[in-house]
Structure 1
Amino acid sequence: MAVVRPFRAIRPTSELADKVAALPYDVMNSEEARQMVVGNPYSFLHVDKAEIDLDPSIDHYDKKVYEKARDNLNKMITDGVYIQDEKPCFYLYKQVMNGRPQVGIVGCASIDDYMNNVIKKHELTRADKEEDRVNHVDYCNANTGPIFLTYKARGAINAIVEKTMAQAPVYDFVSDGVQNTVWVITDEADIETIGKEFAAAGDLYIADGHHRCASAARVGKMRREQNPGYTGEEEFNYFLAVLFPDEQLYIMDYNRVVKDLNGLSDEEFMEKMKGMFHIKEYCGEGQYRPESKHTFGMYLNDKWYILTAHGDIYDPNDPVDQLDVSILQKNVLDPLLGIKDPRTDSRIDFIGGIRGLGELEKRVHEGMKVAFAMYPTSIEELINIADAGKIMPPKSTWFEPKLMSGLFVHQL
């Protein structure tokens, strides 16, 4: 039984929403962020990546960065860039990319549900990235970036969504080709129904934002220790989330490029690959995009190849082992190319599907040796792995569109 509750969002005025809204802090580096905010003092990157307002030499994990984030957020509130709703509400957040919509409920999820695995995970977190967000949340006294959750679709929630979208939105703007539209759900009966429906829905699943979610839970536990008389109703017991029905989500391919063949010649590498894959040279135009599970595109020496995995190199009954990212890691990246830990090995890089397969060719021409185009992981696979209590390999899923930061702030 999941707890999802309304909250009094701190959110930008309608006139400034498109200027405040920013891509998540972890999809660009600091220099890119500096360029993105030129001429826009309202961008939420001044909060989410506050190092852009400090000397470029500063360590991104320095205490001054978190203090600057806090000060920038407080100034935006004081200056009237932000308003706060008078009563707890749910919000509706619709995104449309390439004509495909996804509509989520914005509310607060429970840190207890996270700790008790009612909110299920499918990825490991890195200690340094988690610590960074703990400090950011703690100094800002707020969840500034929403966690992207999914749930098994509920008809009653869908009905409220449709009714709400017939009303006038508070925000409606296009950013980076994605239309972002927001409504406020104020009807008490609808708010009550949404809470009951999530309670009846069973488990929730982290789609994207494992580090933000883990950090929010850690800050909540810290605040409980600081407030031993806490009741459980305090805002620090909850964190900002956008919850999308599973049927609407779109996962793109998450591709790989590798710097060298680990001492193998091209011929030796191809011969070893033949023991695990049926290999066929691609004769079509452009790049080869895998059309089904267990097929891969490989770009080597200016040629695309179609790889089809032999059935004996994975367990079709194991939800993790049968993933294409697992097949590649266990049979190619680790044993042939010597990449034991893809999270830390500098010889491998990952290219989100939003950048296109031409980016793989570009990276190979710029110094990488081989590229692998992946068939996307499905939302069903993600849920099955989370339900089994298992963990996906790193960089298994690339969700699009990305949730904009700055449209909703949850104060602790």
Structure 2
Amino acid sequence: MAIVKPFKAVRATRDKVALVSSKSYEIYTPAEIGAKLDFNPYTFLHVINPGYKYHKQDVTGEQRFKLVHNRYLEFKENEVFKQDKAPAYYIYQKRTPTDNFCGIIAATSVEDYHNNVIKKHEDTLRERELLFENYLKNTGFNAEPVLLTYPDNEVINSIIKKYQNQRAEYEFSTSDKDLHFLWVVSDNNDIEIISNAFEQVNTLYIADGHHRSTSSCLLAQNLAKNNPTHTGTEDYNFFMSYLLSESQLKIYEFNRFIRDLNGLTPEELLIELDAHFRIENRGQELYKPKEKHHFSMYLNGEFYALYLRKSIYNFTDCLSELDAYILYTTVLQPILGIDDIRNASKIVYSQNKSDGLELKTKVDSGEFKVSFGMLPTNISELKTIVDAGLMMPPKTTYIEPKLRSALTIYEF
């Protein structure tokens, strides 16, 4: 039973939302951030780059977090942001040139996270958990929701369709040619229908935002300890999420790029791989896998198809059937010497939404010696692994939609 509830969002006025909301900070290049800060006084990037006001870009740690809070207060004082007077759900639709996503922004429960009603598929880094918890503690808000997914639900779909037939509170386009809509669900009857529908959902799965959710839960634990009147209903006991049905998620794979061959020549690498794979040299023909347990490799100017020798490989559980895990246990760790797959000095990942040519171009540039590609993981694989109490390797899934910051803001 999932606890999902409405909240009073802080959000931009209708006339400014297109200027205020931004992509996630990490997506922008330094040049793009500079241009937006120079020419858009309303962008949320001013809030999360607070040193810009004082021509000081190297503000770090708690000083930066406190300045973020101050810039946020200024946006509220200047009435760029206003808080809704009553709790609401927010139906958000993102329409791209190729896809259409529509779900519900809501407050989800820390208790559900601890009780495994909200399940994660990746381990988090303690250092990043603590950093973001400190950020939340000092700023007092979260501007980017966690992406959660759930089985398709006709009741929830009917409410979403009802509002899609009405005028949206927000309707705006962005420079990446995406179209954004937001509807405010403040009707008490509709709120009750949505809440009751989610009460029938046994599990919510984190699709994106593992560190955000874990840090929110860590903050809630610490605030509860320091609150002698803690009841469990305080705003800090919840975190903002975007709930999207499973059928709407788009999952892409990450390509792997390796900087060296661990002392092997290309010919020696092929001999080592032969123990685990049937290998076909495809020459200059771009090869992309079409089945599970098939891999593409670009090495020394040529594409190869690698087909797992299933009679030799030992399938022990659902994780062992995952292609990213197979590649690690048969190639990356034993042959190429990559024990820590988070170690960017040896391995780099890149999401693959293109035609796969990146496998070739990055190796041909000389930066990497070999690259690997595979089929994307599907939602069924993800759920099976999570429900078995297992964790997927890092950079197994690149999941869309990617959400904008400051479309709705959750205060605690």
Same fold (TM over 0.5): yes
- Give the match for residue 238 of structure 2: 238
Q: Is the 8 A contact 2:62 2:138 kept in 1?
A: no
Confirm whether residue 321 of structure 1 aligns to residue 314 of structure 2: no
- Give the match for residue 376 of structure 1: 376
- Which is further off, 31-40 or 321-330? 31-40
- Give the match for residue 279 of structure 2: 279
Q: Is the 8 A contact 1:208 1:399 kept in 2?
A: yes
1:315 shift after superposition? 4.8
1:232 shift after superposition? 1.4
- Give the match for residue 75 of structure 1: 74
1:140 shift after superposition? 1.2
- Give the match for residue 150 of structure 1: 149
Matched position secondary structure for 1:372: strand
1:262 shift after superposition? 0.3
1:292-371 counterparts in 2 under 5 A?
Answer: 292-312=291-311, 314-316=313-315, 318-354=317-353, 357-366=356-365, 367-371=367-371
1:22-61 counterparts in 2 under 5 A?
Answer: 22-28=22-28, 33-50=33-50, 58=58, 60=60
Distance 1:127 1:27 in 2: 23
Matched position secondary structure for 2:244: strand
1:177-192 counterparts in 2 under 5 A?
Answer: 177-192=177-192
1:296 shift after superposition? 1.4
1:118 shift after superposition? 0.9
Matched position secondary structure for 1:219: helix
State the TM-score, normalizing by the size of structure 1. 0.94
Q: Is the 8 A contact 2:252 2:399 kept in 1?
A: yes
1:51 shift after superposition? 5.9
- Give the match for residue 112 of structure 1: 111
Matched position secondary structure for 2:291: coil
- Which is further off, 191-200 or 311-320? 311-320
Distance 1:30 1:228 in 2: 44
In the alignment of these two chains, the number of paired residues is: 410
Distance 1:47 1:214 in 2: 23
- Give the match for residue 201 of structure 1: 201
1:99 shift after superposition? 3.0
Structure 1 stretches of 5 or more lacking a match? none
- Give the match for residue 101 of structure 1: 100
- Which is further off, 124-133 or 151-160? 124-133
Distance 1:52 1:352 in 2: 31
Distance 1:237 1:201 in 2: 20
2:133 maps to a residue whose letter is V
State the TM-score, normalizing by the size of structure 2. 0.94
- Give the match for residue 393 of structure 1: 393
Confirm whether residue 252 of structure 1 aligns to residue 277 of structure 2: no
1:50 shift after superposition? 4.5
Q: Is the 8 A contact 2:110 2:238 kept in 1?
A: yes
Matched position secondary structure for 2:321: coil
Distance 1:40 1:311 in 2: 56
Distance 1:210 1:49 in 2: 23
User: Between the two proteins, what is the percent identity of the paired residues?
Assistant: 36
Q: Is the 8 A contact 2:49 2:57 kept in 1?
A: no
Superposed CA deviations along residues 331-367 of structure 1, whole A, max 9, x for unmatched, are 1000011000111351100001246533333321331
- Which is further off, 390-399 or 352-361? 352-361
Confirm whether residue 136 of structure 1 aligns to residue 127 of structure 2: no
Q: Is the 8 A contact 2:62 2:135 kept in 1?
A: no
